[in-house]
């Protein structure tokens, strides 16, 4: 699995199809969808219709990050749309274990998301119940933000906690990921990287993907 997850939030929708074809030739496996409801975060992005359209046109697997106040309402719609991975914020109220089960019952990988100012302790009860953790290295709501430097240590701490609990969950990072910080994040223990403007604004996506993978010392079989 290619560890780079391009985020459509950073795309120019007028040439999105062409960019996605470039990602196909670059052997990208996943596309990341930032779903925003205008309530949990100020921005409104897109809904399950986009996921459905992507599934009809392309062969990517889809990773949907729900930035919504009521994930219980949104989850069934995205399962029906065909997403493969589905995550929601630990900061939202509700039955976290029940929501994770709802996602898994829909044959999706289940993830939890952590904001930059949320204590890592809030994730500890769920590390054995999730398939992946998404660590936000910017505050959610907008693409193109600068990476928060303290996120590097948060990733390292969380990786140690995952190991101590003997959990098999993967560690994903999202926000300000670029060619300079992806290597240190990999060393700190991150497994997967949501990348926005650094990929979508690249003149040559295939070469940029290769540079990212080289920085991570990751080889694609």
Q: Where in the sequence numbering do the catalytic residues fall?
A: 34, 174
Cα separation, 33 vs 137, in Å, equals: 16
Secondary structure letter of residue 168 according to DSSP:
-
Task: Take residue 65 and report the two structure tokens written for it.
Answer: 């990050």
Rg value, the chain, Cα:
16
List the one residue out of 27, 22, 2, 31 whose CA is nearest residue 204: 22
Task: Take residue 150 and report the two structure tokens written for it.
Answer: 């303290």
């Amino acid at each position: 699995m290619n560890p780079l997850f391009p985020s459509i939030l950073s795309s120019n929708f007028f040439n999105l199809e062409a960019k996605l074809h470039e990602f196909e030739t670059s052997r990208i496996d996943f596309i990341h969808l930032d779903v925003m409801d205008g309530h949990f975060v100020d921005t409104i992005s897109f809904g399950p219709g986009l996921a459905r359209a992507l599934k009809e046109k392309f062969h990517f697997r889809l990773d949907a990050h729900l930035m919504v106040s009521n994930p219980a309402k949104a989850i069934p719609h995205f399962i029906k749309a065909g997403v493969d991975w589905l995550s929601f914020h630990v900061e939202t109220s509700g039955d976290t274990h029940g929501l994770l089960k709802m996602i898994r019952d829909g044959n999706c990988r289940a993830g939890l998301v952590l904001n930059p100012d949320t204590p890592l302790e809030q994730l500890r009860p769920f590390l054995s119940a999730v398939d992946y953790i998404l660590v936000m290295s910017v505050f959610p709501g907008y693409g193109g933000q600068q990476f928060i430097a303290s996120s590097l240590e948060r990733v390292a701490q969380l990786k140690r906690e995952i190991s101590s609990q003997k959990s098999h969950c993967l560690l994903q990072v999202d926000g300000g990921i670029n060619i300079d910080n992806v290597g240190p994040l990999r060393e700190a223990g991150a497994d997967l990287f949501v990348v926005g403007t650094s990929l979508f604004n690249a003149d040559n996506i295939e070469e940029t993907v290769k540079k990212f993978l080289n920085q991570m010392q990751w080889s694609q079989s």
